[in-house]
Structure 1
Amino acid sequence: MATLLHLDSSALSQGSTSRDVAETFRKAWEEQHPDGKVVYRDLAANPLPHISEAGITALFTDAAERTAEQQAAFDLRNELAEELESADAVLIAAPMYNFSIPSSLKAWLDQVIIMGRTGGENSSVAGKPTTVVTSRGGSYAPGTPREGFEFAATYLEKVLGGLLGLDVDVIAAELTLARSVPAMAGLIDQSDASRAQAHEAAATKAKALAARLSA
């Protein structure tokens, strides 16, 4: 029975493109793999604490000598690491905020990346298939004026692939603000097309991945 770890990070509970596309992925996964398991975390609704001194020093302190604060921080990091290690596939919904990822997702990354365990050359999660669903209010495609300002998908590819060794695939929906920003009204058709393509890609990739893991 395969397990999918699904993380949402959009601050919007409704009207979020990244949540909607990730939901399409998840539904397709569940339809293809009805006996599978989904572990879900809404990092915006239930944010994790940012990495702390206790969380860092606990890793280098003998268990018998840890303070209560260090032990609590250690237990959280261990829980998150085990959650990631136990998953057969990962789904991360990450809208781009101010050219980067939501702080709620950064908090998860800082907690779950444990060098010598999940992070580093012998990562315990290396090779795990990971789908990132990202959404962008404008366009950051090659050739656009803001091509070099995209630090959400590019950052996640580096940190997930480079530090955790995950096998990362990105689905992006662009121009998501076209219907709400008057100056972008001329881009509505392109926005709708990008969103439709993202949903289609999510369904296709989820079905293929679920079938592969069920084989």
Structure 2
Amino acid sequence: MSTLLHIDSSAMTQGSVSREVAGTFRQEWQAAHPDGTVVHRDLAVTQVPHLSAAAITAQFSSPEGHTAEQQSAVALREELIVELEQADALLISAPMYNFTIPSSLKAWLDQVVLFGRTGGEGGSVTGKPVTVVLSRGGAYGPGTPREAFEFAASYLEKALNGLLGMEVDVVVAELTLARVNPAMAEFVELADASKAQAHEQAAAKAKALAARLTEQAAV
């Protein structure tokens, strides 16, 4: 039986396109993999603290000498890292905020990237598949005027693959503000098409992942 770790990071618990598309992925994965388990961590509901000095210093000192603050910081990192290590696949939903990812997601990443364990060559999550569902209020794809301002998908690909060695797949919905921003009314049809395509891609990728995990389990 496989486990999918689902991380939501949008501050909006209602009306979030990234959550909605990730929901499609999760539903299709569960439908195709009914014996699987989903562990859901909502970073807007249960916030993960940013990496602290206590957590950093604890990494380079003996556990016997840790203060209560360091012990608490280590326990949190251990909980989050084990949760990631025990999952067979990872699903992350993230909106673009000010050209990059939400700080809540960056906090989670900083906690789970631990060199000598998860991070670096031969880490404990190397090769694990991760699907990133990203929403962007405007257009930042290849060839667009703001392509150079895209630091969400590009960052996550580099962090998840470059630091953790994970296998990254990205689904993107663009122009998500078109239906709420009158100045973007001319882009509504493009926005709807992008969203529909994202749902289709999420569903297809979920089914493919479920089949892959089932095949691996049978070997």
Asked if TM exceeds 0.5, the reply is yes
Report the alpha carbon displacement of residue 190 of structure 1 after superposing the two structures with TM. Answer: 0.4
The 5 A counterparts of 1:24-173 are 24-173=24-173
- Counterpart position of 2:176: 176
What do the CA deviations read for 1:128-181 (whole angstroms, capped 9, x no partner)? Answer: 000000000000112211010000000000000000000000000000001111
Report the alpha carbon displacement of residue 45 of structure 1 after superposing the two structures with TM. Answer: 1.3
Runs of 4+ deviating beyond 2 Å: none
CA distance in 1, matches of 2:209, 2:54: 38
CA distance in 2, matches of 1:83, 1:106: 17
- Tell me which amino acid in the other structure corresponds to 2:162: G
CA RMSD of aligned residues (A): 0.6
Report the alpha carbon displacement of residue 5 of structure 1 after superposing the two structures with TM. Answer: 0.4
CA distance in 2, matches of 1:79, 1:168: 23
- Tell me which amino acid in the other structure corresponds to 1:201: Q
- Tell me which amino acid in the other structure corresponds to 1:22: A
CA distance in 2, matches of 1:144, 1:30: 36
- Counterpart position of 1:8: 8
SS state of the match for residue 168, structure 1? strand
SS state of the match for residue 139, structure 1? coil
SS state of the match for residue 45, structure 2? coil
CA distance in 2, matches of 1:97, 1:176: 12
- Tell me which amino acid in the other structure corresponds to 1:66: H
For normalisation by structure 1, the TM-score amounts to 0.99
CA distance in 2, matches of 1:168, 1:208: 14
SS state of the match for residue 177, structure 1? coil
CA distance in 2, matches of 1:110, 1:33: 30
CA distance in 1, matches of 2:110, 2:141: 28
Report the alpha carbon displacement of residue 28 of structure 1 after superposing the two structures with TM. Answer: 0.3
Report the alpha carbon displacement of residue 58 of structure 1 after superposing the two structures with TM. Answer: 1.0
SS state of the match for residue 64, structure 1? helix
CA distance in 2, matches of 1:68, 1:37: 34
CA distance in 2, matches of 1:177, 1:128: 33
CA distance in 2, matches of 1:176, 1:59: 41
- Counterpart position of 2:212: 212
- Counterpart position of 2:17: 17
Gaps of 5+ in 2: none
- Counterpart position of 1:191: 191
CA distance in 2, matches of 1:44, 1:100: 17
CA distance in 2, matches of 1:5, 1:143: 33
CA distance in 2, matches of 1:62, 1:196: 52
CA distance in 1, matches of 2:74, 2:122: 21
Aligned residues: 215
Report the alpha carbon displacement of residue 64 of structure 1 after superposing the two structures with TM. Answer: 1.1
Sequence identity percentage = 68
